[in-house]
A and B are shown apart, each in its own frame.
Chain A
């Protein structure tokens, strides 16, 4: 039930984000979702793509600094309170969220949220027990 996420280190310098995205475009990689964390010093670009293994290899070959980590994806109702109930479940179990980002698609009815937590397995069990719909890799990449 875990999703592979590509993270890329971005130095604080003009054009770096564009360089990365262009490299992916040239390699025919489709971006499902992205989030950019920035500090005054550097940024971290996080991506969900249709082919994470190939995307990571492609970026590494162009000397980008890449790491692949496992995150969770949940499908939530695209309506007020949809995310609140999911987060309440995690919070109730004492699981803290490192970061999260959400996206919607034209095809699916629900909204998707990518969650990075400290312990994926415990979070998966907790969310399942709470009746939250987890989205698998195949399903997500194929969106």
Chain B
């Protein structure tokens, strides 16, 4: 079943015409209402009337996470605050949150695109959708929730945590579709195995996203939960989950391109690459009202495919992101930039600002360790004093990033002083 046949099965010509019309309108709105965009366009002598259609998309300036930070919190919002009905936020590169605003129409659109994802996974109003993404500023929980409501399914806002209770709800409420991070799905599978109640669980599908996962994880989730597992893609800057999702063919995720026009660029030069090339994924949100970002650089590395799909949808497909164009880590669904850790360490005089971040996945849960050099002048002969430094660092990281980290003190001068940032991260999860 296709949620919105008109838009999801359009011919390429119709789609191009629709995108062009929406793009013209969007650029006009943005130019008139968002000062930073107007300044960017004026700087290169570009007027809204220069944009005739998608063929002119490449002329528009990019938007980056820095733009969101520089215009924190509402600088890129294109409507008066009286029109804004919802606000979400995710962690930014330097500790400042990335704020995204939605109008009522935007929230409806969000429900529409996640509804498409649910239908792609075989969902319908007869389903009981179990949402184990966090509800709150993070877009995962509410985004999935709106999708469930839009298709008319019974939607359970379980949110994260309390795994035992999750299993009980799943069993007693008869959940049929699970939406959460893939690592949490495996954790739930473990809890179900422990409780020995897999026969009482009626899940048939799961839609998983918000963090990288592999085909091996997919097979493991499918085997252990006895479901079919679907991938979903999204980021809060664009709308949240639902930007793209997998159909039953599972050869890529159909992008809701009538709303989010994708491009693949060379992340070093900014040049647009032809379909099938691997590069950085960029989106232009042509229909969003509150925060219609133009050519937003996701930093996710992907490919686009316009090949026909057996599901009948004609929308372009993106492959699962194959890495990042920056050094962002996704740990337990939380975006973590090494620079945020650095900012925290700078506030702690007892340690030097040299660190190594080690990420591993043990028992299906991401483990995050920060190795940091103690400064010789703060070294104490008492274990207690050093333990206090360790727990203070962990506390500061938790409060700044919302993620728990193991902290390991290492000897001074043992962490490699390198210019390149990559050397500071050891990701043992092998997710790409």
What is the interface of chain A, defined by CB distance below 8 A to chain B? 5, 7, 9-12, 16, 37, 39, 41-42, 44, 46, 60, 63-67, 69, 98-99, 116
Main secondary structure of the interface of B (DSSP, over half): mixed
A2–B411 CA distance with the chains assembled, in angstroms: 28
A-B contact pairs, 17 of them (CB 8 A): A7-B379, A9-B379, A9-B409, A11-B409, A11-B410, A11-B411, A12-B408, A39-B386, A42-B410, A63-B411, A65-B374, A66-B376, A67-B381, A69-B381, A98-B384, A99-B382, A116-B382
Q: Considering the chains assembled together, what is the distance between the CA atoms of A63 and B374 in angstroms?
A: 13
Interface centre among A11, A39, A60, A65 (most CB of B within 10 A): A65
7 shortest interchain CB distances as A-B pairs: A7-B381, A11-B411, A65-B376, A65-B379, A69-B381, A11-B410, A67-B379
Closest chain-A Cβ to B337's Cβ sits at a distance in Å of 25
Name the A residues within 8 Å of B408 (CB-CB): 12, 41-42
Given A7-B381, A69-B381, does the pair A42, B409 have CB atoms closer than 8 Å? Answer: yes
- B216 beta carbon closer than 8 Å to chain A: no
Residues of B within 8 A of A9 (CB): 374, 379, 386, 409, 411
Contact flags B364-387 to A (C-beta < 8 A → 1, else 0)? 000000000010100111111011
Contacts of A67 in B (CB 8 A): 376, 379-381
| B379 partner residues in chain A, CB cutoff 8 A | 7, 9, 65-67
Nearest Cβ distance between residue A59 and chain B, in whole angstroms?
11
* Alpha-carbon separation in the docked complex, A69 to B409 (Å): 21
- Residues on the B chain within 8 Å of A16, using CB: 411
CA distance A18 to B411 in the complex (A): 15
**When A9-B374, A42-B386, A44-B386 are in contact, do A65 and B381 touch as well, CB less than 8 Å?**
no
State the CA gap A9–B410 with chains docked (Å).
Answer: 9
Q: Are A116 and B413 in contact (CB under 8 A)?
A: no
What are the interface flags for B395-420 relative to A under an 8 Å C-beta threshold, 1 for contact and 0 otherwise? 00000000000001111111000000
* A9-B374, A39-B387, A42-B386 known; A63 vs B413 contact (CB < 8 Å): yes
Q: How far is the CA of A103 from the CA of B392 in the complex (A)?
A: 35
**Contact A98–B382 (Cβ < 8 Å):** yes
Residues of A within 8 A of B409 (CB): 9, 11, 41-42
Residues of chain A within 8 A of B410, CB atoms compared: 11, 42
Whether the Cβ atoms of B387 and A5 lie closer than 8 Å is no
Q: Which residues of B contact A65 (CB under 8 A)?
A: 374, 376, 379, 411-412
Most chain B CB inside 10 Å of its own CB: which residue of A12, A37, A66, A67: A67
Query: Which residues of chain B come closer than 8 Å to A69, judged between CB atoms?
Result: 381
Give Cα distance in the complex from A41 to B381, angstroms.
Answer: 15
Minimum Cβ distance to chain A for residue B61 (Å): 48
Q: Please state if A63 and B383 are interface contacts (CB–CB under 8 Å).
A: no
Given B381, B386, B390, B414, which contacts A5 in the complex, CB threshold below 8 Å? B381
CA distance A41 to B384 in the complex (A): 12
Chain B contacts of A7 at CB under 8 A?
379-381
Question: Are B387 and A116 neighbours in the complex by a CB distance under 8 Å?
Answer: no
CB distance from A71 to the nearest CB of B (A): 9
Name the contact of B390 in the complex, choosing from A11, A12, A41 (C-beta under 8 A): A41
Write out the residue numbers on chain A whose beta carbons fall within 8 Å of the beta carbon of B380: 7, 67
A63 and B381 within 8 A (CB): no
Flag if A63 contacts B412 (CB, 8 Å): yes
Q: How far is the CA of A116 from the CA of B384 in the complex (A)?
A: 13
Known: A9-B374, A41-B408, A65-B411. A116 touches B381 (CB 8 A): yes
Residues of A within 8 A of B386 (CB): 9, 39, 42, 44
Chain A residues lying within 8 Å of B381, measured Cβ to Cβ, are: 5, 7, 44, 46, 67, 69, 116
How many angstroms from the CA of A11 to the CA of B410 in the assembled complex?
Answer: 5
CB-based nearest A residue for B413: A63
Q: How far is the CA of A99 from the CA of B384 in the complex (A)?
A: 11
CB closest residue in chain B, given A37: B383
Query: For A116, what are the chain B residues with a Cβ–Cβ distance below 8 Å?
Result: 381-382
Task: Name the residue among B380, B411, B412 with the largest chain A CB count within 10 angstroms.
Answer: B411
Q: Roughly how many angstroms separate A54 CA and B408 CA in the complex, as a whole number?
A: 30
Q: Which residue of A lies closest to B414 (CB)?
A: A11
Question: Cα distance A7–B376 when bound, in Å?
Answer: 11
Known pairs A9-B374, A65-B374, A65-B376; A39 contacts B383 (CB<8 A): yes
Extra A-B contacts (12), CB below 8 Å, given A9-B379, A9-B386: A5-B381, A9-B374, A9-B411, A42-B410, A44-B381, A44-B382, A60-B376, A63-B411, A65-B374, A66-B379, A69-B381, A116-B381
The residue in chain B whose Cβ has the minimal distance to the Cβ of A12 is B408
With a cutoff of 8 Å between Cβ atoms, the chain A residues found around residue B383 in the complex are 37, 39, 44
Q: How close is B386's CB to chain A, nearest CB, in angstroms?
A: 7
A7–B380 alpha-carbon span in the complex (Å): 8
B387 CB contacts on chain A under 8 angstroms? 39
Q: With both chains docked as a complex, state the minimum distance between the C-beta of A96 and any C-beta of chain B, in angstroms.
A: 12
Q: Report how far A44 CA is from B374 CA in the complex, Å.
A: 13
Chain A hits for B413, CB < 8 A = 63
| CB of B410, distance to nearest CB on chain A (Å) | 5
A67 CA to B408 CA, complexed, in Å: 20
